[in-house]
Amino acid sequence: MRAPLSWIKEYAALPEGVTGRDLAEKLIGIGLEVETVDEISISGPLLVGRVLEIEELTEFKKPIRYCQVDLGGTVNGIICGATNFVVGDLVPVALPGAVLPGGFEISARKTYGHISDGMICSGRELGINDEYDGILVLTEGEVGQDAGPVLGLDDAVLDIAVTPDRGYCLSIRGIAREAALAYDVAFTDPASLVPEMPSDGPVREVDLQYGADRFTTRVLTDVDPDAPSPAYMVRRLNQCGMRPVSLAVDITNYVMLELGQPLHAFDGTKLTGPIQVRRPRDGEELETLDHVDRVLDAADVVIADDSGAVALAGVMGGLTTEIDEASRSVVLEAAHFQPALVAATSRRHKLSSEASRRFERGIDSDVALAASNRAAQLFAALASATVGGLVDVDRREPIMSIEMAMDMPSRIVGVDIPEETVRAILANIGCSVEGETVTPPTWRPDLIAAIDLVEEVARVVGYEKIPSRGPAMGTGLGLSDSDRLRRQLRRRPAELGLIEVLSYPFVGEGELDQLGLPADDPRRVAVRLANPLSDEQPLMRTSLLPGLLAGARRNVGRGAESVHIYEYGQVFRDVETVDAPVAPAGSRPADDVLDEMLSGLPRQPEHLGFVLCGDWSQAGWWGVGRPVDWSDAVRLAALVARAAGVEVEVAQDAHSPWHPGRCARLSVAGQVIGHAGELHPDVVAAFGLPVRSCAGEMDLSILLDAASPVASAPRVSTFPVAKEDVALVVDEGLAADAVREALRSGGGSLLESVRLFDVYSGPQVPEGKKSLAFSLRMRADDRTLTDEDIAAVRESALAAAGELGATLRG
Amino acid sequence: MSAPNKNFDPVMPAALDPANLQANVDAALAAIAGAEDLATLKQVRLDHTSDRSPLALANREIGALPPSAKADAGKAVGAARGRVNQALKAREAELKEAERERILTAERVDVTMVNDREPVGARHPIHSISEHIADAFVSIGYGVVEGPELESEWFNFDALNINRDHPARTMQDTFFVGSADSGAVLRTHTSPLQIRTLLDQAPPVYVVCPGRVYRTDELDATHTPVFHQVEGLAVDKGLSMVDLKSTLDWFAATMFGEGIVTRLRPSYFPFTEPSAEVDLECFACRGESVGNPDRPCRTCSSEGWIEWGGCGMVNPRVLQSCGIDPDEYTGFAFGMGIERTLMFRHGITDMRDLVEGDVRFTTAFGMDS
Ligand SMILES: [Zn+2]
């Protein structure tokens, strides 16, 4: 809402000399969001002049005029390129020494063969509007007078973002009320200034069925269709950001700005029969003023006559009954529609208007008649209209009163606010207070509970009165074990040399195809957005890899030779169609309703993924680099898991998007947590990454469940270690880790560790076999091992490996 | 070698002649002093202390001397050998020291050569600052709560007193999931975590909730459809706006320096009442740029205050939706945008840097921010 200071001052007795900025600061303090204050900055002489003579200079490519302009004491010769004025017009003239908005300085200068002693200004040059084709021809003012007041240039305009609870501030009336409250000065209600207008004569009957609790019609006849809008009205509409259209439309807009009541003017000759306020009929259609044909919804509210719907109530009028340049008969509607119905209608039709914005937030339920009278007054005065009959259907319920303990504001604000102050503030905002019963005024439909009244008291007292002491201390015990574990998991890859990135969780089928996911892969079961940002990516991610691979590609594209990035975040799994009931608010839903709401949501586990491209260690003065390989990916995954105190089990797998022979399945206690390894060459190519890029992805949620936050301490033996190396020949296809695990479990408690240190296949071992060399470390925690001990451990370890078909290499 | 002197012949063998001994010692010492490296010194040791060396031979002659002469001769030879051995030892130590010096000198490297062989990791600043904020609140007894990004509409809107007709519940602002009446949305703020917490825990409740949220804005220099918030919630007996203001001032000082305070401006949010916008005193100029064109401040555009977030007392209707009696308990809540906080704290001018995942951007923040 744009509000001129001069208009506000008409109703709020602000102190002398208050500027737009002063007022803005006060209004912000009391809870209005003043976004900008437009103060037109013109300095130096700007006068009203009368054009005495126009000499058309024809020797130039464009029309140029040399004008003699009467400025009271002097007549100045001025060059002007506009042609929209005639001899005798009043125009604004900036004289040498004036500075226009944007720092444009006026001086006497020679141009087009003449000395131009000043400038005749356009609206744009003065910063009033965007008109620059022609100069601003004035409709009022005295020759030689300062043009500032005539143009409203001495004024400031406050632009206020009105929050949903303050619908009444979508009017000068409401803003002036707040201004008076902020300065604690007298307020004159403009509605109280409106005279009672005649209400006899022809009427337009109303059949109110639905959607409003107040509906008035007023008939105006003999309207002069050629009467212009007066200058003050045009100026104020302009200041408020509304385009002047015609007198009839301008009056309805002007009254709406003044009082906050949206009005609609129908051409009375185009209406047939009484006005009905009702639900649309099945399949009923309406072409609104914006030339859109609309199929009406059963829940919309329409204004109709015998011909059918003629307006979308509270939102926009219809084309068939629009006022035009010949309209002499007007039916004026002033109503109070139900806010929720207007909001829903506006939303359904994706149509927001000045009227709907006001009705949605709730207008004063008692201003319709005043607004109708005010408009009738203006029609009579400006368009010499005859004011006809009034129909007023009034079905309003009384306003609900609120019980509030008078010490409640002190309790909630934490500052002692005397009871008499509380009562005075409530009275000032328009409430009637009797004992602890408070009845809000008709323009405050937002006040429905005691806490709403507390807020009123608090904002008028002023938030700057609230003191500061130490913070409110909680009762918590610090980070929980799972908080700390989660953090360690999330941080670990960075400690291991990876760089964390964040990507948008939106994906498209194309990316899932690029990953080579089979048709029945669970990662293809994705939640679809109703209104995605891009039609290419309408799905919520089921895996972190598409985002990470795109991120890797972007970094490679920007010149990075090697990229090691990771991301953690939620993925959205196992649900394609979300169906969650929505319980009513206001009380705690029953447990089964809560369960139903929560179980309708997809599973959203936290995943951690990474992509490795290029070299792990790069070449340099120390020698050659080392490319990333599948085992880096497996190692990273294992080290992340270890941050949660969990050892992952690694097994061979073939799983998209990994290389079918270089993919490790990672499990914890038999539950699969993810995969790691080298990416499939097709995927690497599809994403434009360096060959042999690697990746991993794991479900942190499972890891967290499996985590053991408190590790039990190992016994650290100080007895000497015994070392034995064994080389075993096994089938080519046997997993090295299975052999290691057999040795370890076969060796028993004296076998401290088993480590694979060499792998060989070739002429030294039989076809289809490979040799695995392990080093065994043995130690007891109570004695030095004897040769017999060592031999026994070795034999039992080998025996266990032997069950897998392993034989000692000869 | 002479035969044993059984006759106690007083004749002194030449090898034991003092002059001779001295000459041998002198020769040995000269050789030792002349040895320039350990290998030469080793040869000198062989030449002058081995079994065939003159002094060893002299020592052997002692056995043939009459008992009366043995002691003196033994002393003389012993002294001579002692001098030689001592000189050897000293020279050996000298040479070893010199050798070590030489090796250490030879092993000098140019330590300004940079080893960037292994990659160095970094945290994304959005996550590290979220942890930083959470840590601050944990230190005053708050818990940390996270939750799902795809949220039930009841949690995201209804329970927060955002009714069906609220403009936020349109496709212009909110990502709907499936159909518009699926009952689920991408959460538009972290406030549903307030509801989840209050349904889950009986008061007193003190929690901080960081998380990712969604609005249907196009990405540009100042907007992103996917961003992060951190929200604080306290519900207890007797909490008032003084507690809210005090906690916000403490938070400001924790994040931006001692003495930095907040300012509250009345505002409107459906889930708090009274509600306020939170402004942060400019930590860069502490207000000194206001009305002072000589000292302009880029952080606050010379306004002295920076818009930081929103706050208020938890609306009793919200407590009721969670089954908490608003006559017994009151609460406060506040929320800030993480991206916005990072942008003014670190002078980030383009939102796109925060979302594109360029490793050069993240690397600049290291492990913490
Ligand atoms: Zn500053």
Query: Which pLDDT belongs to residue B179?
Result: 79
Local confidence band at A129 (pLDDT 50, 70, 90 cut-offs): low
Query: Which pLDDT belongs to residue B49?
Result: 86
Residue A739 CB coordination number (10 Å): 21
Indicate whether B4 pLDDT > 60. Answer: no
Mean per-residue pLDDT of chain B: 90
Cα–Cα distance measured from residue A345 to residue A296, given in angstroms and rounded to the nearest whole number: 9
The reply to whether B91 and B171 lie within a common domain is: no
- Final residue in a domain of this structure, among B46, B71, B106: B106
The reply to whether B82 and B201 lie within a common domain is: no
Indicate whether A52 pLDDT > 60. Answer: yes
A348 reaches B (C-beta below 8 A): no
The reply to whether B198 and B77 lie within a common domain is: no
Strands A275-278 and A263-267: unpaired
Cα–Cα distance measured from residue A235 to residue A244, given in angstroms and rounded to the nearest whole number: 9
Cα-only R_g, chain B: 44
Question: Once rounded to an integer, what is the mean pLDDT over residues A27-51?
Answer: 87
pLDDT in tens, A398-428: 999 999 999 999 999 999 999 999 999 999 9
pLDDT in tens, A334-373: 999 999 899 889 988 999 999 999 999 999 999 999 999 9
A553 reaches B (C-beta below 8 A): no
pLDDT in tens, B294-311: 889 989 988 899 999 999
Query: Which pLDDT belongs to residue B3?
Result: 52
B265 reaches A (C-beta below 8 A): yes
Please name the residues in contact with A209: beta carbons below 8 A apart, sequence gap of 6 or more: A276, A277, A278, A279
**Token representation of residue A548:** 């990470």
Query: Which pLDDT belongs to residue B7?
Result: 52
pLDDT in tens, B321-339: 999 999 999 999 999 999 9
Cα–Cα distance measured from residue A266 to residue B348, given in angstroms and rounded to the nearest whole number: 54
- Interhelix angle B38-49/B54-61, nearest 10 degrees: 20
Please name the residues in contact with A401: beta carbons below 8 A apart, sequence gap of 6 or more: A437, A438, A439, A440
Query: Which pLDDT belongs to residue A399?
Result: 94
Closest CA to A751 of A807, A803, A801, A805: A801
Q: Is residue B305 part of a domain?
A: yes
Residue A760 CB coordination number (10 Å): 15
A338 reaches B (C-beta below 8 A): no
The reply to whether B102 and B153 lie within a common domain is: no
Q: Is the Cβ–Cβ distance between B280 and B305 less than 8 Å?
A: yes
Q: Is the Cβ–Cβ distance between B157 and A494 less than 8 Å?
A: no
Instruction: Report how far apart, in Å, the C-alpha atoms of A358 and of each of A157, A188, A264, A592 are.
Output: 20, 22, 13, 39
Cα–Cα distance measured from residue A369 to residue B46, given in angstroms and rounded to the nearest whole number: 130
pLDDT in tens, A369-394: 999 999 999 999 999 999 999 999 99
Distance A632 CA to ligand 1 centre (A): 48
Q: Give bridge partners of residue A105 from the DSSP assignment.
A: A99
**CB contact burial B142-163 (16+ within 10 A = b; e otherwise):** bbbbbbbbbbbbbbbbbbbbbe
Distance B251 CA to ligand 1 centre (A): 18
Q: Is B141 in Cβ contact with A587 (below 8 Å)?
A: no
Q: Is residue B195 part of a domain?
A: yes
User: Best mutation site among B110, B177, B273, B321 for testing chain A: the one with the most A CBs within 10 Å?
Assistant: B177
**Token representation of residue A299:** 């829940």
**Token representation of residue A197:** 């207008």
Q: Is B264 in Cβ contact with A463 (below 8 Å)?
A: yes
Q: Is A343 in Cβ contact with B165 (below 8 Å)?
A: yes
Q: Is B242 in Cβ contact with A468 (below 8 Å)?
A: yes
Return phi, psi of residue A336, to 5°: -125, 100
Which among B117, B236, B320 has the least Cβ separation from residue A618?
Answer: B117
DSSP annotation of A563: E
Q: Is residue B118 part of a domain?
A: no
Q: Is residue B33 part of a domain?
A: yes
| Residue bearing the bigger pLDDT, A250 or A147 | A250
Which among A412, A414, A597 has the least Cβ separation from residue B154?
Answer: A597
The reply to whether B79 and B217 lie within a common domain is: no
Query: Which pLDDT belongs to residue A151?
Result: 78
The reply to whether B91 and B157 lie within a common domain is: no
Q: Is residue B1 part of a domain?
A: no
Report the number of secondary-structure helices (H) and strands (E) in chain A. 21, 41
The reply to whether B101 and B219 lie within a common domain is: no
pLDDT in tens, B120-129: 999 999 999 9
ipTM value of the model?
0.87
Helical segments of chain B, H only: 18-34, 38-49, 54-61, 67-106, 125-138, 153-156, 192-200, 241-256, 316-321, 338-346, 352-355, 359-363
Query: Which pLDDT belongs to residue A82?
Result: 87
Amino acid letter, A343:
A
B274 reaches A (C-beta below 8 A): yes
The reply to whether B56 and B155 lie within a common domain is: no
Instruction: Report how far apart, in Å, the C-alpha atoms of B54 and of each of A79, A737, B19, B70 are.
Output: 127, 69, 13, 18
A701 reaches B (C-beta below 8 A): no
Instruction: Report how far apart, in Å, the C-alpha atoms of A450 and of each of A444, A548, B327 are.
Output: 13, 51, 11
Collapsing DSSP states into helix, strand and coil, what is residue A452?
helix
The reply to whether B150 and B215 lie within a common domain is: yes
Residue B77 belongs to domain spanning: 14-106
Q: Is residue B50 part of a domain?
A: yes
Mean per-residue pLDDT of chain A: 92
B168 reaches A (C-beta below 8 A): no
Indicate whether A128 pLDDT > 80. Answer: no
Task: Locate the chain B residue with the closest alpha carbon to A447.
Answer: B273
Cα–Cα distance measured from residue A584 to residue A572, given in angstroms and rounded to the nearest whole number: 26
The reply to whether B298 and B151 lie within a common domain is: yes
Q: Is residue B334 within a helix (H) or strand (E), and if so which, with residue range?
A: strand B330-337
Lowest-confidence region among A399-403, A451-455, A745-749, B45-49: B45-49
Instruction: Report how far apart, in Å, the C-alpha atoms of A484 and of each of A408, A492, B126, B130, B143 are.
Output: 41, 12, 18, 14, 12
Q: Is residue B111 part of a domain?
A: no
Collapsing DSSP states into helix, strand and coil, what is residue A721?
coil
The reply to whether B82 and B133 lie within a common domain is: no
Collapsing DSSP states into helix, strand and coil, what is residue A800?
helix
Question: Once rounded to an integer, what is the mean pLDDT over residues B61-83?
Answer: 84
pLDDT in tens, A544-574: 999 999 999 999 999 999 999 999 999 999 8
Closest CA to A642 of A706, A697, A694: A706
| Residue bearing the bigger pLDDT, A686 or A477 | A686
Neighbours of ion ligand 1 (CB under 5 A): B 282, 284-285, 289, 297, 299-300
pLDDT in tens, A736-791: 999 999 999 999 999 999 999 999 999 989 999 999 999 999 999 999 999 999 99
For residue B178, the chain A residues in CB contact (below 8 A) are: 527-528, 530, 577-579
Q: Is the Cβ–Cβ distance between A372 and A263 less than 8 Å?
A: yes
Indicate whether B1 pLDDT > 50. Answer: no
Distance B299 CA to ligand 1 centre (A): 5
Cα–Cα distance measured from residue A315 to residue A313, given in angstroms and rounded to the nearest whole number: 5
B198: left (phi over 0), alpha (psi -120 to 50) or beta: alpha
Q: Is A31 in Cβ contact with B266 (below 8 Å)?
A: yes
Distance A89 CA to ligand 1 centre (A): 50
Give percent of chain A above pLDDT 70: 99
Query: Which pLDDT belongs to residue A238?
Result: 84
Q: Is B182 in Cβ contact with A578 (below 8 Å)?
A: yes
Local confidence band at B10 (pLDDT 50, 70, 90 cut-offs): low
Question: Once rounded to an integer, what is the mean pLDDT over residues A234-250?
Answer: 88
Distance B282 CA to ligand 1 centre (A): 5
What would the DSSP string read from start to end of A98-131?
Answer: -EETTTEE---EEETTEEE-SEEPBTTTTTS-S-
Give percent of chain A above pLDDT 90: 77
- Final residue in a domain of this structure, among B106, B141, B168: B106
B253 reaches A (C-beta below 8 A): no
Q: Is residue B113 part of a domain?
A: no
Distance B123 CA to ligand 1 centre (A): 28
**Token representation of residue A69:** 């302009």
Query: Which pLDDT belongs to residue B230?
Result: 97
Amino acid letter, B302:
S
- Final residue in a domain of this structure, among B106, B135, B153: B106
What would the DSSP string read from start to end of B209-252?
Answer: EEEEEE--PPP-SS--SEEEEEEEEEEETT--HHHHHHHHHHHH
Which CATH number is B316's domain given?
Answer: 3.30.930.10
Window A:465-494, CB contacts with B under 8 Å? 466-476, 478-480, 483, 487, 490-491, 493-494
Query: Which pLDDT belongs to residue B72?
Result: 83
Q: Is the Cβ–Cβ distance between B311 and B248 less than 8 Å?
A: yes
Q: Is the Cβ–Cβ distance between B204 and B236 less than 8 Å?
A: yes
Indicate whether B195 pLDDT > 60. Answer: yes
| Residue bearing the bigger pLDDT, A444 or A810 | A444
**Domain count of chain B?**
2
Q: Is residue A553 within a helix (H) or strand (E), and if so which, with residue range?
A: helix A545-557
A748 reaches B (C-beta below 8 A): no
Residue A41 CB coordination number (10 Å): 12
The reply to whether B246 and B326 lie within a common domain is: yes
